[in-house]
Amino acid sequence: MPDGPPADAAPATAFSVELLTALVDGGLTDVVVCPGSRSQALALAAAALERAGRLRVHVRIDERSAAFFALGLGVESGRATAVVTTSGSAVAHLYPAVLEAHHSGVPLLLLTADRPVELQGIRSNQTTTQPGIFGGAVRFERDVAAPTGADGESARAATLAHEALRSANGRGIAGPGPVHLNLAFREPLSSALPADAATRDTAREGAAAGEGTRDTAATRDASARPFVAARFERPRVVLERGPRTVVIAGHGAGPDAEELAHAASWPLIAEVTSGARFGRNLVTPYRELLRDDRLGGRIERAVVFGHPTLSREVPALLQRDDVDVTVVAPTGIEAYNPGHRARVVSTASVADGAADRDWLGAWVVASRSLVQAADRDAAPSLADGHSHDPEARLRFARAEFAAVRAEVDRRMLVEELWRATWPYDRLVLAASRLIRVADAYVPGKKIPVHANRGLAGIDGTIATAHGIASAQQADGMPGVTRVLVGDLALLHDAGSLLGGHGETWPRLQVIVGNDGGGTIFDDLEVAQTAERDVFDRVQYTPHDVDVAALAAAYRWEHVRVTTRGKLEQALTLSREAPVVIEVPLKR
């Protein structure tokens, strides 16, 4: 069994095998490959590692879709996935996912091929300035000179792999995020590679970290700069009891927010993608309660986890002069801080003492009252159902039939989707009107809910969900990944309905709330003042896309539902193939 690539391998091939093998030795499990000439050595080396059973390779035509797919794998697994691209505009297509990974703290590894130094600055084809292209959005960057086959390049590849994974997976103070390795290659761009060239473990210690690389001015590794790390060191805090406090859990907050609210007996405001929307302290209709002077007006302190993005009321509260704000942000240079007045800490706990149960009780009672008042589901009478009176049984049958035949609206859509999802499933919500409807109405439930809320863009939602589903179901785990999108989010990422040829699709449902355009903009103030036809054209952006034909073009199953019964059936029917569930909605 050879120890690495053959001696006569092209330097591009030899280096690519060494780099990817070292990454695999460091824990990399997945690589997403986009087609291209300059990156061929990386792509073929990845394929060799897959044949050896050491790596999973996913092939995507579109780089933007590839990067969001890799993002989804990282969201679910917590580990960096590598994306391989050729040079030029291919690299720029990664930028939306890079920004999302940066702001959401998701590990991501970018391996971009580039021209060697002698082809830079001469208008060589498919050449642009790639070092620094992602600005401050990467945790670490290296511009790596084209390999020559010189002694020591194997060790330098191992060192580079170690540094990249360490930074991407969040070993530094900046936390997890994207890392960029810009890899120059000279011709010949690849050479023959024996099938068994990638079957051994490297288990090597790297050489000095900077050896053999050209550090760019954009190199960012906070852990390598003690003065930067010290600047962002955050204290731990023990919160005294007394002030009337609420715990706010934004996107990605996780269960720590619920744990603090429970331990302190404080009301919990948890957004639908917070990972903390459960527990006895949860208040679902928090917008109304924050606007209520008897509750929201009396708040003296707020403790914030994650990134709140789904209401205007939360930022307004946190900018009030009479509210003390503590933001819990264990990692990350950028912390959520409306008004620039919060105290930012790494962890928060509550001091011993008596709980203010009257404060919590007032919130819980008010929350339950609003929820009951808004409840539209009048269940058929069980007494009528068990009655021997024919008229009573007829009333029961009519009520049951009416419930099943009820027309689906936005609230019913999100509530049925919420009911159908369990802890072994995954739910992904696009940045659309529907995520706000879900946030307003769905009750507490401890299920995994994801969304691209770092920048709250609609791009890449289907690709991200595909990545989440692939990671969750990789080892035969049960469950379904359901992604709820508006029609514009579907059209923006329609190319992600195309997977890799011959690759097995996970169990994936794309549920499309189709109202013919961007009705989320109907809630803007401008909708009341702008001319309707002008507003529709540039904001609502109407379309007449045939969603069934679109699904068929990508060989997806398509189901169109308009009633509660059909929706429930579509969501719960067992399918091995991916499906688009289209739900027409009124504007």
**Is 163 a domain residue?**
yes
Amino acid at 415: E
Q: Is the pLDDT of residue 198 over 80?
A: no
Q: Is there a single domain that holds both residue 417 and residue 521?
A: yes
- Three-state SS for 275? coil
Alpha helices in 333-473 (DSSP H): 357-374, 382-386, 390-405, 410-420, 433-441, 461-472
Look at residue 124 in the predicted model and tell me its pLDDT: 79
Look at residue 382 in the predicted model and tell me its pLDDT: 72
Q: Is there a single domain that holds both residue 304 and residue 450?
A: no
Q: Is there a single domain that holds both residue 222 and residue 285?
A: no
User: Is-contact 87 125, C-beta < 8 A?
Assistant: no
Instruction: Give the whole-angstrom CA distance, residue 359 versus residue 357.
Output: 5
Instruction: Give the whole-angstrom CA distance, residue 342 versus residue 324.
Output: 7
Q: Is there a single domain that holds both residue 311 and residue 414?
A: no
pLDDT tens string 152-195: 999 999 999 999 999 999 876 789 999 999 999 999 989 988 65
Q: Is there a single domain that holds both residue 218 and residue 276?
A: no
Mean pLDDT of the chain: 89
N-to-C CA span, the chain: 65
**Is 495 a domain residue?**
yes
Q: Is the pLDDT of residue 464 over 90?
A: yes
**Is 33 a domain residue?**
yes
Alpha helices in 473-546 (DSSP H): 487-492, 532-535
How many contiguous H segments (helices) and E segments (strands) does the chain have?
20, 19
Q: Is there a single domain that holds both residue 485 and residue 517?
A: yes
Q: Percent of the chain beyond pLDDT 70?
A: 90
Can you give the CATH number for the domain in which 362 is found?
3.40.50.1220
pLDDT tens string 57-92: 999 999 999 999 999 999 999 999 999 999 999 999
User: Is-contact 283 267, C-beta < 8 A?
Assistant: yes
Query: Total structural domains in the chain?
Result: 3
Can you give the CATH number for the domain in which 417 is found?
3.40.50.970
Domain of 163, in residue numbers: 11-227
**Is 2 a domain residue?**
no
Q: Is there a single domain that holds both residue 83 and residue 220?
A: yes
**Is 49 a domain residue?**
yes
User: Is-contact 61 34, C-beta < 8 A?
Assistant: yes
**Is 388 a domain residue?**
no
**Is 548 a domain residue?**
yes
Q: Is the pLDDT of residue 219 over 80?
A: no
Q: Is the pLDDT of residue 45 over 90?
A: yes
Residue recorded with tokens 């731990």? 236
**Final residue belonging to a domain, choices 203, 227, 251:** 227
Q: Is the pLDDT of residue 404 over 70?
A: yes
Closest CA to 43 of 86, 94, 92: 86
CA distances from 29 to 55, 91, 241, 471 (A): 5, 22, 46, 10
**Final residue belonging to a domain, choices 353, 372, 391:** 372
User: Is-contact 501 448, C-beta < 8 A?
Assistant: no
Which H, E and C letters describe 147-193, residue by residue? Answer: CCCCCCHHHHHHHHHHHHHHHHCCCCCCCCCEEEEEEECCCCCCCCC
pLDDT tier at 478, thresholds 50, 70, 90: very high
Q: Is there a single domain that holds both residue 424 and residue 546?
A: yes
Q: Is there a single domain that holds both residue 217 and residue 278?
A: no
User: Is-contact 439 396, C-beta < 8 A?
Assistant: no
Look at residue 51 in the predicted model and tell me its pLDDT: 95
pLDDT tens string 361-372: 999 999 999 999
Q: Is there a single domain that holds both residue 245 and residue 202?
A: no
Instruction: Give the whole-angstrom CA distance, residue 448 versus residue 422.
Output: 8
pLDDT tens string 275-311: 999 999 999 999 999 999 999 999 999 999 999 999 9
Look at residue 481 in the predicted model and tell me its pLDDT: 97
pLDDT tens string 224-249: 333 233 345 789 999 999 999 999 99
**Is 439 a domain residue?**
yes
Look at residue 426 in the predicted model and tell me its pLDDT: 98
Q: Is the pLDDT of residue 217 over 90?
A: no
pLDDT tier at 431, thresholds 50, 70, 90: very high
Q: Is there a single domain that holds both residue 513 and residue 440?
A: yes
Q: Is the pLDDT of residue 218 over 60?
A: no
Return the higher-pLDDT residue of 214 and 240: 240
**Final residue belonging to a domain, choices 191, 209, 227:** 227
Q: Is there a single domain that holds both residue 51 and residue 193?
A: yes
β strands within 369-434, DSSP E: 426-429
